[in-house]
Chain A
Amino acid sequence: MTRLSSVLRGAIMPVLVVIIWEILSRAGVFSAAFLPSPLAVAARWVQAMQPLQPFNPSESSYLVWLVSGEFPHDAAASLSRVLSGFAIGAGLALPLGLLMGTSQRIYTLMNPLVQILRPIPPIAYIPLAIVWFGLGNAPALFLIALGSFFPVLVNTIAGVRQVDSIYLRAARNLGASSMTIFRRVILPASSPFILAGARIGIGTAFIVVIVAEMIAVSDGLGYRILEAREYLWSDKIIAGMLTIGALGLLIDTFASRLNDYLLRWHRGIGT
Chain B
Amino acid sequence: MVDTHISISHVGMVFRSSGGDVVALDDIQCDVPRGEFVCLLGPSGCGKSTLLNAIAGFARPTSGTITVDGRLISAPGPDRGMVFQEYALFPWMNVERNIAFGLDIKGIAADQKQAVVDRLLDKLGLSDFRDRFPRDLSGGMRQRVAIARVLALDPPLMLMDEPFGALDALTRRSLQTELLRIWTEDRKTIVFVTHSIEEAIYLADRIVVMTYRPGTIKRDLVVDLPRPRDPASPAFNDLKRDLAELVMAEQERSSDAERRAAAVD
Question: CB within 8 Å of B: which residues of A?
Answer: 166-167, 169-177, 180, 184-185, 188-189, 191, 264-266, 268-269
Contact = CB atoms under 8 A, between A and B. Distances in A.
A266 B88 contact: no
B105 interface: yes
B153 A175 contact: yes
A188 B90 contact: yes
Interface in B66-84: 75-78, 80-82, 84
Q: Residue among B56, B84, B101, B150 with the most chain A CB within 10 A?
A: B101
Nearest to B102: A174
A28 B92 CA distance: 61
Contact of A169 (B88, B92, B102, B135): B88
B106 interface: yes
Interface residues of B, number: 30
Interface in B24-56: 56
Main secondary structure of the interface of A (DSSP, over half): helix
Given A174-B149, A174-B153, A175-B102, A268 B135 contact: yes
A194 B134 CA distance: 21
Given A174-B81, A184-B104, A189-B92, 19 more contacts: A166-B86, A167-B88, A170-B90, A172-B75, A173-B56, A173-B82, A174-B101, A174-B149, A175-B77, A175-B153, A184-B90, A188-B90, A188-B92, A189-B91, A266-B135, A268-B133, A268-B136, A269-B133, A269-B136
A167 B153 contact: no
Nearest to A264: B133
B88 A170 contact: yes
Given A173-B82, A175-B78, A265 B91 contact: yes
A173 B90 contact: no
Contacts of A167: 88, 90
Contacts of B135: 265-266, 268
Q: Residue among B77, B81, B90 with the most chain A CB within 10 A?
A: B90
Contact of A172 (B76, B84, B92, B133): B76
Contacts of B80: 173
Nearest to A170: B88
**3 closest cross-chain pairs (CB), A and B:** A175-B78, A170-B88, A174-B102
A184 B103 CA distance: 13
A170 B136 contact: no
A185 B84 contact: no
16 contacts: A169-B76, A169-B88, A170-B84, A170-B89, A170-B90, A171-B90, A172-B58, A173-B77, A173-B78, A174-B153, A175-B78, A176-B101, A265-B94, A265-B135, A266-B92, A266-B135
B86 A173 contact: no
A191 B91 CA distance: 12
Given A167-B88, A174-B78, A265 B133 contact: yes
A176 B102 CA distance: 8
Interface string B139-154: 0000000000110010
Contacts of A171: 90, 101
Interface string B99-112: 00110111000000
A185 B92 CA distance: 9
Contacts of A265: 91-94, 133-135
Contacts of B89: 170
B103 to A, nearest CB: 9
B32 to A, nearest CB: 18
Contacts of B150: 174
Q: Residue among A173, A184, A188, A269 with the most chain B CB within 10 A?
A: A173
Q: Residue among B81, B91, B104 with the most chain A CB within 10 A?
A: B91
A180 B78 CA distance: 14
B76 A173 contact: yes
A191 B105 contact: no
Contacts of A266: 91-92, 135
A180 B105 contact: yes
A265 B56 CA distance: 29
A159 to B, nearest CB: 13
Interface in B112-161: 133-136, 149-150, 153
A75 to B, nearest CB: 35
A7 to B, nearest CB: 32
A86 B147 CA distance: 43
